[in-house]
Chain A
């Protein structure tokens, strides 16, 4: 661990500029091939056209998952900055870089504009279609706008937080004047006014990002799944989706942190403190998952109206019961009973394995919800589900799409880390100002400053 602020900067920039080696290159090639396989899968699926909604359930689930994970990940940096905590400084960039993956998510969203039928099929919608003079594709328009503004906000936050680091990079390497990386620092000279504005802009945009994230989850959860299932009235469902996004976002950051620690050799910066902090968050989020799920479930189960019974059958107890049970175990039971235990939380492997479980659990959860919702798309105009269709298994095309989609995300992220420093340099330098070790009578203590 290096001590002075200048040494931190020198060390981190040096690490960033190091050549990546053949392993990085080989993995990139493999991921590119898998991404292409995903495109092939999409083409295969596309041969049947967008008309048969039930064929696209797995595709929509993939989008929903990637949007949840990549959209939720930047919240780790945003929320911990609001709480003025010091330990997340070394993971803020790791989490913010996921905004670039969200950009990839937007590409995946484009076909969904055609997959989702317009509101003329008589389904119940939020938009008072038929009563007010709204266009029949209002959900498509609103979701697109919401999604684009969310991703732009995320990218803007990333850019703001990058500016000082790009400046350091530009000063310490031979980045050519006029190159795009040079321009990205946007005339940053580190004046006190620039620092002041940067802090405020990041704060305000962070709050805006959070609100937009919830809003977009609201739109996607309602328009892209709930309204397709007749009789499904669950006011809490959009909030559960926003929460799931935070949960899988944290898990994704833990997994990425693990990879960056081992393959990028950042052991000094990504220490047990960071794993432990996020382990605690995973614990709290798993409890919240149960609370949200149970709050929805008990009301529908207790009410037991025929429409509610069939919704529960479709989503939980019927064709997808094993998927639901697996998601329940991986999203709630496993993180709860492992992350409650301090020694496991205070380790590198513990939180990482649990994050893996949450990651897989979230995939299963999205499949359960979206595949089930799209399987009743032909009944959308009814008052309640007439018959619950049997399980829809993924086809070859679906498997290719999923592999390609996930590989594409990893590839995009890896390439981003090639260009942009994966550890936030200025925040590490700032930490040196606020963190002091000193003697307190007979012990050595850490003094942490909390500026206004």
Chain B
């Protein structure tokens, strides 16, 4: 039976603007800790700028390490926003309503983290590397090489960042009007400007509704392209074994959805637990997302299987030697086992149980496990892939991350947390108007002794 509470608009405002109109006690310490971690990472970055990339564990031949793993990881997480928001909007799934914004905001901040990880930090001297991407050097007539995946990549990520930020902002307008009406003085003046004079006419609501669907339909193909293009950073080249595979684009996408939707589930648990919004995000919602995760995880596993099968199908020695390294040689073998268990074999059987799907604790544990697994997956693709480059390579290095890299990676995590914390202080994390609309469109049908949840369709 679905839980269902009919709430008034006033009550919804009071509940969901709680963090905006007043400050919870834990908010400031949490924010300060996030700022501190971020600043430590930023200092590590400064140190690296001063000393050079030699202070990291990167070496020849393992040129890509923690930073690139993190880049792919955060791009993956960023796929959650669009997955939840766009697909569920287009399919008119009712349970999307309270979770869309949190997911979209996570998209924006994790994309920023991804940008921090690769084009800013990873290239070592960003002012040299990034200036051949943007702005163009018109003076000398030397142009970027658009045949390179490293140009496709920024074009996709920047499109995605712009699109998802605009998506969040457009959907915020009606909620900003609600805050405007609840505040006074200069704060009200700021929200008045931000809400653009929104009054809630039928025309404005119609446009909001159409915008949600239209932007979802437009952002969805962008989201698919982003991770595909990230995967081609790897797959297009024929150097490292195990990277040159046609399956990479869909494999990366489905992996990103797996880790991203898990991250949204983690976020939902946190919202229920910390903000006590369990009237809005219910255990039914957790149940729905866990069911979705079973399908997503299994599809991901199928692609993982295909990737492996066709690696072995090549019957080429370097490829098989690389697989041997991943699975049988310490410490990669240990990581491989942890990866498989945490990404699939622990969470998925757990989600088959209704009790787990409806438990805050177990959903938190399983979804965090997925992201540990998915982080390791990227690590196991990148690092062992680079360690064995073929017959005539005499540099067979290994890779150990330095403390500098670890601090910078920690900073990207701190950045996402900090971004979310700052967002909740200024904007509502659950879309008020979407929840209110759900209340208006909700109905029931009585059949005999049963009451079936129903919704109004125009």
Contact = CB atoms under 8 A, between A and B. Distances in A.
Q: Do chains A and B touch in the complex (CB under 8 A)?
A: yes
Interface of A: 83, 124-126, 214, 233-239, 287, 291-292, 295-296, 298-300, 302-303, 305, 433-434, 436, 440, 445-452
Max count, chain A CB within 10 A of own CB: residue among B235, B245, B307, B313: B313
B401 interface: no
A303 B236 contact: yes
A309 B221 CA distance: 29
B455 interface: yes
B393 interface: no
Contacts of A300: 246
Contacts of A298: 232, 236
A449 B456 contact: no
Contact of B445 (A234, A237, A287, A449): A449
Shortest beta-carbon contacts, A-B, top 10: A235-B310, A235-B247, A295-B249, A449-B452, A302-B236, A449-B454, A449-B445, A236-B246, A296-B246, A299-B246
A234 B245 CA distance: 7
B313 A447 contact: no
B432 to A, nearest CB: 22
6 contacts: A125-B313, A291-B224, A434-B445, A445-B458, A447-B456, A449-B447
A83 B248 contact: no
Contact of A239 (B245, B306, B452): B306
A200 to B, nearest CB: 15
A237 B250 CA distance: 12
Contacts of B238: 303, 305
Nearest to B152: A298
B50 to A, nearest CB: 37
B315 interface: yes
Given A445-B457, A447-B454, A448-B457, 19 more contacts: A233-B310, A234-B246, A234-B310, A235-B310, A287-B221, A291-B224, A291-B228, A291-B249, A295-B249, A295-B250, A302-B232, A303-B237, A303-B238, A445-B458, A447-B457, A448-B454, A449-B444, A452-B1, A452-B2
Nearest to A301: B236
Interface of B: 1-2, 91, 94, 221, 224, 228, 232, 235-238, 244-250, 302-303, 306-307, 309-311, 313-315, 443-445, 447, 452-458
Contact of A299 (B235, B302, B314, B452): B235
A85 to B, nearest CB: 9
A450 B236 contact: no
B229 to A, nearest CB: 9
Contact of A450 (B232, B447, B452): B452
Contact of B313 (A124, A236, A433): A124
A446 B456 contact: yes
B302 A214 contact: yes
Contacts of A124: 313-315
Contacts of A234: 246, 310
Contacts of A303: 236-238, 244
B306 A235 contact: yes
A450 B250 contact: no
B250 A299 contact: no
B236 A447 contact: no
Contacts of B302: 214
Nearest to B447: A433
Contacts of B309: 126, 235
A305 B311 CA distance: 16
Contacts of B249: 236, 291, 295
Nearest to A290: B221
A107 to B, nearest CB: 30
Nearest to A450: B453
Given A299-B245, A305-B238, A436 B2 contact: no
B interface SS class: mixed
A133 B452 CA distance: 57
B236 A238 contact: no
Nearest to A283: B217
A235 B307 contact: yes
Contacts of B456: 440, 445-447
Given A238-B306, A239-B250, A305-B238, A449 B457 contact: no
Nearest to A131: B315
A440 B440 CA distance: 10
A433 B94 CA distance: 20
Contacts of B247: 235-236, 239
A335 B244 CA distance: 31
Contacts of A83: 91
A303 B236 CA distance: 6
Nearest to A125: B313
A127 B228 CA distance: 29
B455 A450 contact: yes
A83 B93 CA distance: 9
Contacts of B311: 235
A20 to B, nearest CB: 37
A451 B236 contact: no
B383 to A, nearest CB: 21
A126 B452 CA distance: 50
A447 B453 CA distance: 10
B454 to A, nearest CB: 4
A78 B245 CA distance: 31
Nearest to A126: B313
B455 A447 contact: yes
B246 A235 contact: yes
A234 B249 CA distance: 12
Nearest to B94: A450
A344 to B, nearest CB: 16
B214 to A, nearest CB: 11
A382 to B, nearest CB: 14
Nearest to B303: A239
Contacts of B232: 298-299, 302
B217 to A, nearest CB: 9
B407 to A, nearest CB: 35
B310 A448 contact: no
A448 B236 contact: no
A21 B235 CA distance: 60
A292 B306 CA distance: 14
Nearest to B224: A291
B1 A447 contact: no
Contacts of A433: 445, 447
A291 B226 CA distance: 12
B1 A235 contact: no
Max count, chain B CB within 10 A of own CB: residue among A238, A287, A298, A440: A298
Contacts of B1: 452
Contact of B452 (A125, A233, A434): A434
Contacts of B244: 299, 303
A126 B313 CA distance: 6
B246 A295 contact: yes
A415 B457 CA distance: 38
Contacts of B452: 434, 449-451
Contacts of B447: 433, 449
Contacts of A237: 246
B221 A448 contact: no
Nearest to A292: B250
A2 B389 CA distance: 70
A378 B184 CA distance: 82
B197 to A, nearest CB: 27
A434 B452 CA distance: 8
A299 B313 contact: no
Given A83-B91, A124-B313, A436-B445, A446 B457 contact: yes
Nearest to A233: B314
A25 B310 CA distance: 50
A164 to B, nearest CB: 18
A366 B249 CA distance: 23
Max count, chain A CB within 10 A of own CB: residue among B232, B250, B443: B250
B236 A236 contact: no
Contacts of A450: 94, 452-455
Contacts of B235: 299
B175 to A, nearest CB: 25
A305 B244 CA distance: 11
